[in-house]
Every structure is written in C-alpha cells, then in structure tokens.
Amino acid sequence: MHKSLADRIEECGVVSIIRGTDPAKIIPTVQAVYDGGIRAVEITMNTEGAFEMIKAARKEFSGRMLIGAGTVLDEQAARMSIAAGCDFLLSPTLDAGVIRLANAYSVLAIPGVMTPTEALEGWKAGAGFIKIFPAGVLGPGYIKAVKGPLPQLRLMPVGGVNLENAGEFIRCGADALGIGGELVNKKRVEAGAFEEIRSLAAAYLEAVQKARA
C-alpha cells in the first residue's frame, strides 16, 4: 500500500499544502485544488481545527484525493492524524518513530530532511518519499546533486517552490513538489478566490508535465 500511495503522489506530481486557513472553508478549498487537477492535499497540524478538517476532507473526497497531515512532529501527532483518517504524514523533520507508526498503519511517511545522510536514513527507516526542506534555499541543483549518488530516493522539494522554479526542480530530478502559500493561502481563501486557486493548481500541474516531457 505504501508503494501505491507514493506512486499516486508521484503520478500527480503536486501536493497542495493547506496551512492556517478557515476550517469552515476546507471543502471549497480542496474542491478548487481538485478541480485544478491536483489529487493530494496536506492539512498542517499548526492549523486550527486540523483534525476536523482532515476528517471532513476525507469524507467528501474519499477515493478521489489523498488527504494528508502536515507538520507532524512526533508520534502523538502522527497517531491522532492517522485516527482522523489521513493517507500520508508529512513532516519538516526526520523522526524514525513517526515513520514506524505510519508503516504500522499502512500510511505513507514523508519526513523532511536537508542532508543526504538524513535522506538515506529516512529511506532506510521506511519512508516512501523524502521531503527536501527548505528547497527554496537549497535550489533545484541540490536535488540533482542528491539524486546523483542516491537515485533510488523519491524526493519532494518543499518550501520556496513556485511557478517560476517548479519546472526546474522537476528537470533536476524531483519526483513531486509540495506547494504551500504560492497556491493556497489564507488571503485567497478568505477572499473566496477559489477560481484563482483552481487556475494556479492547473498551472502547477502543467509546469510539472512540461518539465517531465
């Protein structure tokens, strides 16, 4: 199951990160991302009402989208996220306990790392994807450098990925991209700019597809 979840994220190529937005607007927000073609969203744990948002999104989009929990820092948060029904756990850091717990419940673990040593340790611990963070600081070339000696790793740059550099990250070997405030942010959600979110989601997917071609 881990492989199929990782395959589905890689196939789509983009995970939309939802942070700090109004819990009452989670369904139209995810719908806008879905309408743009993205099939995986991450709701971060430092968003008020995160567990309820995961449950609501899972109920509405079950079978159509992967719903993940983000900013998962420890096993307690991981356990609560899994209980809420998440498909994957995405973290800014590497915690072997979180990975073990995810694997025990057939949930995909995506730990955050910065160094090749951390990346390989996460992979050996059973992570199906490795989040490279903060990607904007490291740059697309860093992905290519890591993939050189470690081509078996599935890498997802997160943090500072935007429409200008998305294609270059893919060309340098990224297997998927995590997009945060450049796609979904509090300002757009509060303004009800769901058509803008839909359009941006489609633009990110187009950038990924063009780079892969």
Catalytic residue among 131, 164, 186, 210: 131
**Is position 187 annotated as part of the catalytic site?**
no
CA dihedral 115, 119, 122, 123 (to 10 degrees): -170
Residue with tokens 């356990």: 79
Q: Is the Cβ–Cβ distance between 154 and 131 less than 8 Å?
A: no
CA distance 75 to 96: 9
Residue closest to 64 by CA, chosen among 32, 88, 40, 28 = 40
Q: Produce one character per residue of 177-212: b if its CB has 16 or more CB atoms within 10 Å, e if not.
A: bbbbeebbbeebbeeebbeebbebbeebbebbeebe
**Is position 42 annotated as part of the catalytic site?**
yes
Phi, psi of 43 (to 5 degrees): -105, 120
Helix (H) or strand (E) holding 112: strand 112-113
Angle at the Cα of 56 (from 17 to 175), degrees rounded to 5?
30
Catalytic residue among 3, 25, 42, 187: 42
Which residues are annotated as catalytic? 42, 131
